[in-house]
Amino acid sequence: MKRASVLVLSLVVALCLALPLAGCSSSSYTPQLKEQSVNDSALNSAGTLRVGINASNPPYAAQSNGSIVGIDVDIAAALADELGLKLELVDVGTATDTAFERESVDIVMGVEEANSAYWMSDEYMNSGIALFSLTEDAEAPTAAGSFKVAAQSSSMSAWEVTDHYGESCLENAGDPTAAFEMLNTGSVNYVAAESTIGQYVIHSSGIEAYPIALLQDATPRTVAVAADNTELQQAVSNALSALVSGGVVEVIEGKWLGGHVDISSLTVIPAPAQESTDESSEDASTTDSNTTSDTTSDTTSGDNSSSTSQSPESNTTSE
């Protein structure tokens, strides 16, 4: 895997986020690293938190001009600071279960699925396929009708639209940004997008749109630690709790998304019950492995350039 090493005095991140109008100059202020609260025996590299991220998953993390930037990067930096450690980022892609042994990482950000190979923290964010409207209090449709929903083609969002409302209601878009442009011009009634990506596009574009419902249950995003590293598990749990309760995570969300959005309060629109037969069930059991191409994640490939100016504090270089 490609590695990106970052040595960060992470308190700079919090200062930049809290005081955006004042700027951030390392020449005028050099913060002291907090006292290390984790024994080196619990780490792969003394004094350093090696953090696994998926660097192809904007706005959580993405490569930009030689640096890795995004929401998970900022939260990882804040975690490292809270633990009194330097930060090293490792691009592990989606291979969370093998990252601890193969990549020698200490933690992995943005983990959503349980596995015996690792422990999972409490959530620091949540996400899900959301339905967006230009009207904040709009009523979400619960069945097919004469409306149109834009979604990135061949994405999980597009799949959820067809599953809930049928092919006739879907308008395919090249990416989430294009989908929201269609909404803004009135060519569609709604947009379906992964909630965080949708909020990022709205914040970046200035379009006034709002999540009004979910097409699937909200999924928690957590921090994973190797199953046998109980010392680091406790330390991460305490540090993450401090960041959430202290408002640091909310400030980071504000930077990237324009504010904290708790989608867990949104109504989940159930998909209509599908008629099934023994024959169809048997067919489905043999074709599950072929469905991944229809459920790829939404991306903001057209918006990566905007993330560079938003994250000057991440000084990332590639090895």
Name all domains of the chain by residue range, CATH numbers in brackets: 3-126+220-257+300-318 (3.40.190.10), 127-214 (3.40.190.10)
Model pLDDT for residues 95-124, shown as the tens digit of each residue = 999 999 999 999 999 999 999 999 999 999
Name, in order, each residue with C-beta under 8 angstroms of 255's C-beta and a sequence gap of 6 or more: 17, 20, 74, 310
- 73 or 261: which carries more pLDDT confidence? 73
Are 51 and 109 spatial neighbours (Cβ–Cβ below 8 Å)? yes
Question: What span, in angstroms and rounded, lies between the C-alpha atoms of 166 and 97?
Answer: 35
Q: Is the pLDDT of residue 295 over 70?
A: no
Q: What would the pLDDT profile of 175-194 be if each residue is shown by its tens digit? A: 999 999 999 999 999 999 99
CB 118 within 8 A of CB 224: yes
The DSSP 8-state label assigned to residue 119 in this structure reads: E
Nearest-angstrom CA–CA distance, 4 and 68: 8
Rounded distance between C-alpha atoms, residue 17 and residue 40, angstroms: 29
pLDDT at residue 224 greater than cutoff 50: yes
User: Tell me, what's the pLDDT at 262?
Assistant: 83
> Can you give the pLDDT at residue 239?
98
Dump the DSSP string for 3-25: EEE----THHHHHHHH-GGG---
* Confidence band for 233, pLDDT divided at 50, 70 and 90: very high
* pLDDT at residue 312, as a whole number: 34
Average pLDDT over residues 145-160: 97
Beta strands across the sheet bearing 61-64: 56-57, 61-64, 67-69
- Alpha helices by DSSP H, 56-174: 71-82, 96-102, 156-165
Q: What percent of the chain has pLDDT over 70?
A: 75
Q: Give me the percent of the chain exceeding a pLDDT of 90.
A: 71
